[in-house]
Structure 1
Amino acid sequence: MIDSLLQSSTFLFVLLNPFLMSIYLIDLIQELDFKIFANYLIRGTTISGFVFILFAWFGESIFTQVLQVEFESFMVFGGIIFLILAIRFFFGGSQALGQLRGQPKDIAITIAMPYMIGPGTISASVLAGSRLSPPLSAVTIAFTLSMTALSILFFKWLHDYVKQRDEALIERYIDIAGRTTAMILGTFSIDMILQGIETWIKEF
Structure 2
Amino acid sequence: MDLFKSAVLMFVLLNPFLVIVYLVDMLETLEKKQFAKTLIQGAMIASAVFCCFAIVGDFIFSGIVQAEFASFQIFGGVVFLLIGLQFVFRGPTAIEILRGGSKGLAGAIAMPVLIGPGTIGASVIIGKRHEAIYASAIILIAVFTSVLIMLLLKALHDYVRPRNEPLITTYIGVAGRIMALYVGTVAVDMIMQGVRVWANMF
Letter in 2 for 1:137: A
- 2:102 is matched with which residue? 104
Contact 1:86 1:186 survives alignment (8 Å): yes
| DSSP-derived class of the 1:99 partner | helix
- 2:18 is matched with which residue? 20
Contact 1:29 1:37 survives alignment (8 Å): yes
Alignment match of 2:124 (pick from 123, 126, 129): 126
Give TM-score, length-normalised by structure 1.
Answer: 0.90
1:60-118 deviation per Cα after TM superposition (whole angstroms, max 9, x unaligned): 22101111112122112222222222222222122232122223223222221222222
| DSSP-derived class of the 1:138 partner | helix
Alignment match of 1:143 (pick from 141, 146, 156): 141
Separation in structure 2 between the aligned mates of residue 190 and residue 133 of structure 1, nearest angstrom:
30
Separation in structure 2 between the aligned mates of residue 27 and residue 126 of structure 1, nearest angstrom:
31
- 1:70 is matched with which residue? 68
Separation in structure 2 between the aligned mates of residue 150 and residue 185 of structure 1, nearest angstrom:
22
- 1:185 is matched with which residue? 183
- How far does residue 201 in structure 1 lie from its aligned partner after superposition? 2.2
Contact 1:49 1:141 survives alignment (8 Å): yes
Letter in 2 for 1:151: I
Give TM-score, length-normalised by structure 2.
Answer: 0.91
Letter in 2 for 1:145: V
Contact 2:99 2:112 survives alignment (8 Å): no
- 1:91 is matched with which residue? 89
Letter in 2 for 1:193: I
- 1:171 is matched with which residue? 169
Contact 2:19 2:113 survives alignment (8 Å): yes
Letter in 2 for 1:161: Y
- 1:45 is matched with which residue? 43
- 1:54 is matched with which residue? 52
- How far does residue 50 in structure 1 lie from its aligned partner after superposition? 0.8
- 1:196 is matched with which residue? 194
**What do you get for the CA RMSD once the two structures are aligned?**
1.7
Contact 1:79 1:189 survives alignment (8 Å): yes
In the superposition, relative to structure 1, how do residues 73 and 26 fare at CA in structure 2: closer, same or farther (>3 Å)?
A: same
Q: Which runs of 5+ in 1 are unaligned?
A: none
Aligned length in residues? 202
Letter in 2 for 1:187: T
Amino-acid identity (%) = 45
| DSSP-derived class of the 2:27 partner | helix
